[in-house]
Structure 1
Amino acid sequence: MKYPRFRSRYVTAGVAGLALAAGAVVVTTAAEAAAGCRVTYAVSSSWPGGFGANVTITNLGDPVTSWRLTWSFGAGQTITQLWNGTHTQSGSQVTVTNVSYNGTIATGASTGFGFNGAWNGANPVPTNFALNGTACTGSVTTTGAPTTAGPTTAGPTTAGPTTAGPTSARPTTAGPTSAGPTSAVPCTRQPGTGGGSGPYPAGYETSNSLANHTIYRPDSLPCEKMPILAWSQGACSANGLSAFNFLREIASHGFLVIANGSPNGSGSSTASWLTQSMDWAVAENARQGSKYYGRLDTSKIAVAGFSCGGLEAYEVSNDPRVTTTAIFSSGLLNDANDYQLRRLTKPIAYFIGGSSDIAYPNAMDDWGKLPSGLPAFMGNLNVGHGGTYDQTNGGEFGRVMVLYLKWRLKGDQTSGRAFVGSNCGLCGTQWQVQQKNLTL
């Protein structure tokens, strides 16, 4: 059976998302417990009278075993459906509490939830978030008796290193500088000039040692090691900025993204360029003097691509370093290539533009031929072949790809619940969902 070839073409679909990362606040109680949070609120999609949003909470203080997030809507918005949390709303006041499986948030860890809402006339992003009663204002304050146990505010000259110095007292209150490899570039958070809705504003760069590629990364490298995404563009384009908003959004959530093609490059890529991306990342992680030395998680690598780029991702999906494959609006063009499906052993996800997507029949044919027992997700969003890559923060495809990578490459089970089970976060939404062998 042979399927018609399809060419990549970009269209603008849906309404651009809005994103705002709330500031962080760290306070200390009289007992010297530290509390603080960072909240990312992203409007991922919007339609007349309704919208979808994703909220991520990052705990910057001591570990918590339960949480309550509050905010006020500014224009009469209401929540109509919420997953990965329990909500109540009284007028403009919203309270979301944890469910049984996501109440515990370690220091520096994140959890999140999503919801659909209704709006009329305006949909401004809330700014007055509070976690367990502590406002996320972007400032740092302390209370209690810092001279007895406050190394982060008093310093060794007032508390003495033998009783409350930074090496012996609450390193978790000092922020991200307490984690990650000490031999690499310092991981102190700096204000970023990049973009994306994640906690690490991101931009892009190039490397002389990796020709024909564009590297998307956080402006300030996070303390935790970054998983890696190797990406191939639509039309197998050698322009590394073809999916700029989408790829920068992923990087802003703590991933290193290496895209085929130099910035505004011309010509076409090959699947070997994805292999070059993986080779380069592994080498840079091991090279002393590299900004990425010890900062990459080379055991967690995804390969993905859009349209023609999806075909290139298929070609390298059997590389032993690959953790998962993601196929966007793509499918094998003829049965002679079905061997690429039979050799799949790692989880795969498909994100397709619905029945109007020219790649839809190819993708669905591939879906039906996947090896028995292979963990697989199929999501169709009715946006056509062009997807949402050009929308703010990559639109809905950007939001969902971040969730998928957090699950598969960072082990974030809260994000994984968007894909798993009959009541998954994407189930019953604008997405049409199919699942095979998925477990958390």
Structure 2
Amino acid sequence: MNYARFRPRYVLACAASLVLASGAAILTTTAAQAATGCRVNYVVSSAWPGGFGANVTITNLGDTVTSWRLTWSFGAGQTITQLWNGSVSQSGAQVSVANVSYNGTITTGGETQFGFNGAWNGTNPVPTDFALNGTACTGSVGTSAAPPTSGPVVTSAVPTTAGPTTAGPTTAGPTSSAPTSGPTTSRPPACTTPGGGSGPYPAGYETSGSLPNHTIYRPECLPTEKLPVLAWSQGACSANGTAALNFLREIASHGFLVIANGNPNGSGSSTASWLTQSMDWAVAENARQGSKYYGRLDTSKIAVAGFSCGGLEAYEVSNDARITTTVIFSSGLLNDANDYQLRRLTKPIAYFIGGTSDIAYPNAMDDWGKLPSGLPAFMGNLNVGHGGTYDQYNGGEFGRVMVLYLKWRLKGDQNAGRNFVGSNCGLCGTQWQVQQKNLTL
């Protein structure tokens, strides 16, 4: 369909589904600088015929290291084609990834993360022989002279569909994993309710009689830390609150309360006022004694975001004084008469667009050129088209990057912010095409 300036508001109908593969390796190692231990989470975040994406998180369990090199071997001829947040070399099956200038130090209990795209043919098994700074992973803190023949590997089955769309908490996907940045945080030991997402707080969704026409995504067991809030509007301005289930549940699993326009599997269309209702409800519930959210939300940190038509609704409310940041996915204003919505922006904004094949690309780039001078802004283009990666396992690459952005803007995570700031940012030089305005850590 045509998506151009001066055209009527559009209705989006799109679907994307990929067969994904995933695995996680949880290992312990020592560093050459000191007798240390570590945990490595290797997770395949997306896959397509002949290719895949993976995220690797190293958690330091021992003494601080000031530089690191992680090595492993692929077991089925996989090759790395592009890597970010590290420097890679590969010889045959042997892979070596070293730190870059901004992430060499890992303090005790801290972590660092890198990601890559790779090529595969036939099978894509998880590596089992990770070593840090030349010392093999042994499964305990200490030293080891040689890699074991097999490490303690934990894998998880991956659904071959986009995930369930029925109302209620879901169980698809791993129930816990290290977060993409910042110290590892565990959910309370008493929490045994299943949920989804790759974050430390497995998440599901619910509805509330006091907030009609909405779906609320939250950690199944609320953590002790306060949850920042994301108000979300669906593609096509749809009133189906589970239209982006995998994507929104992934965000919630990293310690956010996500309120989506629409009931689970709902029908009809939303309006921008529903986003305001989401913010009103979160503020009220945080202050209401007897609410499960009483004092548990950080209502000083609220993001508003939307995909496609939902992005237009996010623009409409972006001048609300409670909003910390606005995030636009594959969207742009349809009529120059609405450019006043750009001129009134005063808070940071980010765009995540599907590349030149995205029907919203021209409008998004037009908006980018009209942003107020001095406004902190990020533009990321990923060549996936208008459909994005929302239906992929844990929201795919858009899910991964949105978590990082919200950790930075709503939780003050500077390591996450480094993915967006500077000429050597974590997304710079990757499959993302990056533009920046007025960004500082």
TM-score when scaled to structure 2? 0.77
Task: List alignment gaps of at least 5 residues for structure 1.
Answer: 144-174, 178-185
**2:341 partner amino acid:** Q
Q: Which residue of structure 1 aligns with residue 120 of structure 2?
A: 119
Shift of 1:142: 8.5
2:11–2:237 CA contact under 8 A, matched in 1: no
**Structure 1 counterpart SS, 2:439:** coil
Question: How far apart are 1:284 and its partner, in Å?
Answer: 2.9
In structure 2, relative to structure 1, the CA distance for the partners of 1:423 and 1:47 (3 Å cut) is farther
| Local SS of the residue matching 1:279 | helix
Quote the Cα distance in structure 2 between the aligned partners of 1:383 and 1:176.
32
Structure 1 residue 110 displacement after superposition: 4.1
Q: Is the 8 A contact 2:82 2:431 kept in 1?
A: no
Q: Kindly state the Cα deviation for residue 313 of structure 1 after the two structures are TM-superposed.
A: 0.6
Query: What secondary structure does 2:293 align onto?
Result: coil
Partner of 2:100: 99
Counterpart of 1:41 (choices 40, 43, 63) is: 43
Residues 295 and 6 of structure 1: is their aligned pair in 2 closer, same or farther, counting only changes over 3 Å? same
Amino acid paired to 2:75: G
1:227-376 equivalence runs, <5 A? 227-376=228-377
What's the RMSD between the two structures over aligned residues? 3.2
Amino acid at match of 1:10: C
Which has the higher mean CA deviation after the structures are superposed, 273-282 or 371-380? 273-282
Deviations 1:158-187 (A, max 9, x none): xxxxxxxxxxxxxxxxx957xxxxxxxx83
Partner deviation per Cα, 1:327-382 (whole Å, 9 max, x = no partner): 11111121221111011111111122223322222212211111011111222223
Superposition map of 1:50-199 within 5 A: 50-59=51-60, 66-89=67-90, 91-105=92-106, 109-126=110-127, 129=130, 135=137, 187-188=188-189, 190=191, 193-199=194-200
Residue-pair matches, total: 392
Change in 2 beyond 3 A, CA 1:8/1:92: same
Counterparts of 1:223 and 1:320, CA distance in 2: 27
**8 Å Cα contact 1:218/1:251 also seen in 2:** yes
Q: Give the 3 Å change call, closer, same or farther, for CA 238–388 of structure 1 in structure 2.
A: same
Q: 2:176 aligns to what? A: none
Q: 1:373, 1:411 → 2: CA distance?
A: 20
Question: What is the one-letter code of the residue matched to 2:43?
Answer: Y
Distance 1:295 1:253 in 2: 15
* CA pair 299-26 structure 1, distance change in 2 beyond 3 A: farther
Q: Which residue of 1 aligns with 2:414?
A: 413
Structure 2: gaps of 5 or more residues: 143-183
In structure 2, the CA distance between the partners of 1:412 and 1:56, relative to structure 1 (3 Å rule), is farther
CA contact (8 A) 1:3 1:362 kept: no
Give me the whole-angstrom Cα distance separating, in 1, the residues matched to 2:297 and 2:227. Answer: 5
Matched letter for residue 233 of structure 1: Q
Alignment deviations for residues 256-307 of structure 1 (CA, whole Å, 9 cap, x no partner): 2111111112222221221222222233333444333343332222110011
Relative distance call for 1:384 and 1:253 in structure 2 (3 A) is: same
**In structure 2, distance between residues paired with 1:63 and 1:222:** 27
Aligned sequence identity (%): 78
Q: Is the 8 A contact 1:228 1:296 kept in 2?
A: yes
User: Which piece of structure 1 moves more, 360-369 or 220-229?
Assistant: 220-229
Aligned residue type for 1:235? A
The aligned amino acid for 2:361 is Y
In 1, Cα distance between equivalents of 2:24 and 2:302 = 26
Q: Residues 94 and 330 from structure 1, CA distance in 2 versus in 1: closer, same or farther, beyond 3 angstroms? A: same
**TM-score normalised over the length of structure 1:** 0.77
1:288 and 1:110 map into 2 onto residues whose CA distance is 37
For residues 192-235 of structure 1, the C-alpha deviation after alignment (integer angstroms, 9 at most, x for no partner) is 52222333322211222322211112233344332221100111
**Residues of 1 paired with 2:13 and 2:126: CA distance?**
32
Amino acid at match of 2:335: N
Larger Rg over CA atoms: 1
Output the amino acid matched with 2:124.
N
Corresponding residue for 1:162? none
* Distance change in 2, residues 1:260/1:59 (3 Å): farther
Equivalent residue, structure 2, for 1:183: none
- Aligned mates of 2:86, 2:276 — CA distance in 1: 40
1:164 equivalent in structure 2: none
Structure with the largest fraction of helix: 1
Q: Which position in structure 1 is the counterpart of 2:225?
A: 224
SS at the partner of 1:332? coil
Residue 438 and residue 109 in structure 1: after superposition, are their counterparts in 2 closer, same or farther (change >3 A)? same
Deviation at 1:247, TM superposition (A): 0.9
Q: CA deviation at 1:130?
A: 5.9
Counterpart residue identity of residue 78, structure 1: T
What is the match of residue 208 of structure 1?
A: 209
